[in-house]
Amino acid sequence: MNDVMIERTPHLIAAEINLIKYQTNHIVLTNTIEIGRRLTEAKKLIPYGGWGKWLKESVNYSQSTAEKMMRLYQAYGDKQPLAQSAGEQSQEIPNLSYTQAYILLGVPEEERKAFIAEIDIVDMSTRELQKAVDERTQAEQEKNKALEQKAELRQALDDEKEKNERLTKANTNLSKNAQALYNANIELEKKSGKQQNELDSLKKSTSYGFVDRLRKDLDSASVKVKSNKIAFLYENLERTIKELKWELEQIGADDPDTFVAYKNNVYESLIQWTRDTLWNKNY
């Protein structure tokens, strides 16, 4: 007898079952992709509004089922060509079931190959694969959120830097203006002193009318000095009020209660200062 009897063992039976499963999964996915290819072709030919009716009457598919098949074709069609035999396996696509292939649509196409290479997809259950995809999606979302927060922080830092630069420039200009006003006051005071000396000298050698004119000139110079001082103080007061208003507006968005409290205090202080300093004087 030349025939060799192979002993039927559970291990052998399991191997045969897994081979059949492998072939079945491959054929189901390949056929599904090819159906998706033809559905995509048909949809381009059917007039607008007739797609759902054609699916129901011609191939008995719901639009959701057809959409899944077309998505599988769009994702894997070029990697699973029509001429590929059922016994061959695409290098881009391992032995996937229909459900596994559809779950993998949750991974961007440009990252799908690397993702498949990182996991043991052959021995994974559908639930395990879905979990792996979900975890990857969550990790990507957290990564993108962290990048967004980093970008927002960078923008906030840039805004703060720009604000500081503006304040520094404003302070520099203020210092220059203050120095210019100070120098002007010094010159006016020198001029006033010179005129006073001239007036004292002329009192001894000129008529009263001439001396009186000099006195008026001196009074005018004194008024200019005081006016410049008032202008200097007013400019500083106005700038301080503007900066206070700007800072209040900045805190208003984050802390409305603090904004209202300080705004009321500032308003009451200004009113009280105006009443006490100006309106109680008789001019």
Q: Is the pTM of this model over 0.85?
A: no
Q: Is residue 125 part of a domain?
A: no
> What is the pLDDT tens value at each position of the chain, 283 positions in all?
455 677 888 888 888 887 887 778 778 888 999 999 999 999 999 999 999 999 999 999 999 999 999 999 998 887 654 434 444 444 455 567 788 888 888 888 888 888 888 887 777 778 888 898 898 888 888 888 888 888 888 888 888 888 888 888 888 888 888 888 888 888 888 888 888 877 777 666 655 566 567 677 777 777 777 777 777 777 777 788 877 777 777 877 778 878 877 778 877 777 777 777 665 555 5
Same domain, 75 and 188: no
Burial (Cβ within 10 Å: 0-12, 13-18, ≥19) of residue 10: exposed
CA dist list (Å): 91 to 117, 129, 239, 259:
11, 19, 71, 64
Tell me, yes or no, whether 20 and 100 share the same domain: yes
Are 73 and 13 contacting, i.e. CB atoms less than 8 angstroms apart? no
Is 149 in the same domain as 110? Answer: no
Predicted local distance difference test score (pLDDT) of residue 211:
56
Greatest pairwise CA separation for the chain in angstroms: 160
Which pair of tokens denotes residue 213?
A: 């004119």
Shared-domain flag, residues 261 and 207 = yes
What sign results for the dihedral spanned by CA atoms 49, 51, 54, 60?
A: negative
Residue 136 lies in a domain: no
Give me 259's structure tokens: 């904004």
Look at the chain and report how many structural domains it folds into.
Answer: 2
Give DSSP secondary structure letters for 244-281.
HHHHHHHHHTT-HHHHHHHHHHHHHHHHHHHIIIIITS
Within-domain flag for 183: yes
